[in-house]
Amino acid sequence: MPDPLLTLANVESAYGPVRAIRGVSLSVPPASIVAVLGANGAGKTTILKTISGIIDPQKGSVHFKGEAIHGMDPAGIVRRGLCHVPEGREVFPMLSVLDNLMMGAYTRTDRDGVRRDLEQVFGYFPILKERAKQQAGLLSGGQQQMLAISRAIMGQPELMLLDEPSLGLSPKLTREIFDIVVRINRERGTTLLLVEQNAAIALEVADYGYVLEVGRIVMEDTCERLREKEDIREFYLGMKDAGARGERRWKRKKTWR
């Protein structure tokens, strides 16, 4: 098997005195899609911020392509081939769609490659070509999500971190976004680490998954196997009777911890 593209080993990160993730270890193989599942406040976003250098871990290590990147400046991490699509899109609202896309390519000097990637992005999301001269802040939420993903593509990353890409989107638009996410992985060979509350679609598109609760990894397996686990089916896929959830949840937490 190839060496992992990304590894986290016993990582702990905090916001002031509050520990958000505790002893998190995970790995992401090259050319794969890996999902991190969990409820609000579980620490999913903190994992991505720690990887991309927005937060420095208090303990543990983060390695990308065999190189330690924990504590490194975020711009340096981007230049090594890792791009982060944050929760809530965070496009540059006063800049045009095209200018937002070109901001994603600011570290590149291969003009022909940038031009090819721009055309590919417009192929994935034709609406962005139609709105290329429009201010990004005037796009709908779904279009801004398309723009945020496309801006990351323009950085030509080997690894893309996706934080809640379905947040606030309709089921139809969520499906469209995830169809493109799979195409990015298959057609460009881009590795994806996906944080997502919509467990059903995350487990459908990803190869491997980690389940996070209160800052700790409590379960991991292939997504095919995770879909068959009773706890996942009940608490993340809604496929069990809700009446017994309270008692079962208490027992599950006691067992896992």
Would you kindly state where each structural domain of the chain is located, as residue ranges?
6-81+158-256, 87-156
pLDDT of residue 246: 40
Specify the higher pLDDT residue, 180 or 39. Answer: 180
**Residue 66, Cβ neighbours under 10 Å: how many?**
9
- pLDDT at 239 exceeding the cut of 80: no
Whether the model pTM is above 0.85: yes
Say yes or no to pLDDT of 192 above 90: yes
Cα separation, 4 vs 26, in Å, equals 10
Q: Is 238 helix (H, G, I), strand (E, B) or coil?
A: coil
What pLDDT is attached to residue 245?
43
What integer best gives the mean pLDDT of the chain? 90
Is the CB of residue 196 less than 8 Å from the CB of residue 169? no
Mean pLDDT of 63-76: 95
What CATH code would you report for 6-81+158-256? 3.40.50.300
Quickly state the pLDDT bin for 89 (edges 50, 70, 90).
confident
Residue 253: is its pLDDT beyond 90?
Answer: no
Mean pLDDT for the stretch of residues 64-88: 94
Neighbours of 96 (CB within 10 A): 16
